[in-house]
Amino acid sequence: MKTAYFAGGCFWCITPVFKETEGVIEVTSGYCGGNEENPTYSEVKSQQTGHRETIKIDYDSEKVSFAELFEIFLGGVDPFDSEGQFIDRGFSYTLAVYYNDIKEKETAEKMIAELEKSSGRKVFIALEPFAAFYTAEEEHQDYYIKHPEEFERELIESGRKKI
């Protein structure tokens, strides 16, 4: 089993597609990148900690590769937005990959370079070495399952889902 860490704006919004991916064992919402230990959702959301909302993906690398996961990640975000994602603004909603090793970093760098070349636009995805992951409060785990109506409304109001 391997683990990947992606900050894609609202962690509620990027969880479902990974949960449905063959080879993904578990997706956990949490926080990466800041210096404060055990931050809370309200602290991160209010830009107090230097953390980004992040998902931790435990996966079977025999069934799905890091590159495939990164491709899925790119399909669910706006990689050209430097200020956040959709209506979620601020550092905690900016994009990042917290890589575990040089191979993950090189894979992400190559895919970002290819996207920049094909689009002619600058991609704003930070690549940072993984340091620590703090699991978000239970209410944020599998939010789309626990609160389907609110989740659907969030997708539409945020601009992630077009109706």
Residues 6+ apart with CB under 8 A from 163: 156
> How many Å apart are CA 4 and CA 101, to the nearest integer?
10
Active site residue 10: yes
Which of these is catalytic: 7, 10, 13, 74? 10
Q: Burial letters for 15-36: b for 16+ Cβ neighbours within 10 Å, e otherwise?
A: bbebeebeebeebbbbbbbbee
- Neighbouring CB atoms inside 10 A of 6's CB total 27
Residues designated catalytic: 10
